[in-house]
Amino acid sequence: MIFLNLKTYPASLEKALDYVETAKEVSKESGVRIPVAVPCIHLKDASRLYKDSFAQHVDDVKPGAFTGSLPAEAIKEAKAAGSLLNHSERKVPFEKIKLALDRMNELRLETVICAESQEEVLKIGRLNARFIAIEPPELIGSGISVSNAKPEVIRHAVDTIATINGEMAVLCGAGISSKEDVKKSLELGAKGVLLASAFVNSKNHREFLRSLASAF
Q: Which residues are identified as catalytic?
A: 87, 135
The conformation of residue 41, written as its DSSP 8-state character, comes to G
For residues 213 and 26, is the Cβ–Cβ distance under 8 A? yes
Categorise residue 200: left if φ over 0, alpha if ψ from -120 to 50, beta otherwise.
alpha
Q: What distances in angstroms separate CA 172 from CA 68, 130, 175, 186, one per listed residue? A: 30, 14, 9, 9
- Report the alpha-carbon distance of residue 172 to residue 175 in Å, rounded: 9
Beta bridge pairs of residue 37: 5, 54
